[in-house]
A = this chain, B = another copy of it.
Amino acid sequence: MIKIGLHGYGNIARGVECAVKQNDDMVVSCVFTRRDPGAVKTISGAPVYRTDDILNHKDDVDVLIMCGGSATDLPEQTPAMAKYFNVVDSFDTHKKIPEHFANVDAAAKESGKIGIISVGWDPGMFSLNRLYGSCILKDGADYTFWGKGVSQGHSDAIRRVDGVIDARQYTIPVEEALDAVRSGSQPELTTREKHTRECFVVAEEGADLKRIENDIVTMKNYFDEYDTTVHFISQEELDRDHKGIPHGGFVIRTGKTGQNLEHNNVIEYSLKLDSNPEFTSCVIVAYARAAYRLNKEGLSGCKTVFDIAPAYLSDKSGEELRKAML
């Protein structure tokens, strides 16, 4: 059994606990938290320890899954923990991936451990499909669309608007843009043409709804480049109809082949997820198995989904995979 440790205990960690239960060759062996361990109740029943005590539990963990946030937690924690453990994280600040990679690589090479970073669906499965698509169809273009799904960051931004109690923001790909891409015409699309944003907002009683709406739709970086719709609803409605964390999206690569590039070809990968964090956790768990196996083979250093042969994700042998899935 592969012993999985969880560093941090939020949505991703709970998703990992659920995902590990679906995999027969692994178990959540322990959870590490900055909170009072007595106040944390795990889904799996795994014991909870203080993060400060983590080095006393090195033998209890084959792979440590880093469940903190990308903004401030993971840039510090993943390299720090790679000094002692095989680690997997879902670091998703695209711009800072090269720096994060270098830090984790240095730590993991020194310790002889494996660190797999930026695992999930974007970065993650979407990245893989961008890579495969671009290697196969060289004369082409790729497009990534997100949604329909909840953007936590945009929901949070709305909540910071004066007079707003609660909010939920959906990112929605524009159907006409998707169709234009699928046609193979390789259109150039602006931000506004690709996605719309729909907001469900609970306002304080007596608040100036016109002003709130204006504050939202004109908000720099978040909404000003999009066509944004704002709906005011009650807290009850929000809780009843918008509690889930669905997400998904599309990676589409179109490209030309043939002697005179006369043939058009479309590769489309899409996700439709009832639970964004649970799906992310499922991907992480598959790559945790890969981290374990790669390290058993004597490899070390930082890896991404690009560097890992797909067979490493599976609990089946090469022979079984070739027979059943090739």
A residues sitting closer than 8 Å to B (CB atoms) are 14-15, 18-19, 22-23, 43, 94, 97-98, 101, 118, 123, 125, 127-132, 134-139, 182, 257-259, 262-275, 278-279, 281-283, 286, 304-311, 313-314, 318-319, 321-323, 325-326
Which residue on B lies nearest to A277, using beta carbons? B257
| A110–B83 alpha-carbon span in the complex (Å) | 40
Number of copies: 2
Sort A-B residue pairs by CB-CB distance and give the 6 closest, nearest first. A263-B274, A257-B278, A135-B313, A22-B138, A263-B275, A306-B311
Q: Could you tell me if A268 and B266 are in contact, using CB atoms closer than 8 angstroms?
A: no
Complex formed: what's the CA distance from A306 to B311 in Å? 5
A306: which B residues are within 8 A, CB to CB?
Answer: 309-311, 318, 321-322, 325-326
Residues of B near A268 (CB, < 8 A) are 268-272
A62 to B43, CA, bound (A): 54
Residues of B contacting A273 in the complex (Cβ-Cβ under 8 angstroms)? 263, 265-266
Contact of A272 among B22, B139, B265, B270 (CB under 8 A): B265
CA–CA, A135 to B284, complex, Å? 11
- Report the bound CA distance from A319 to B304 in whole Å: 11
Please determine whether A258 and B271 come into contact, CB atoms closer than 8 angstroms. no
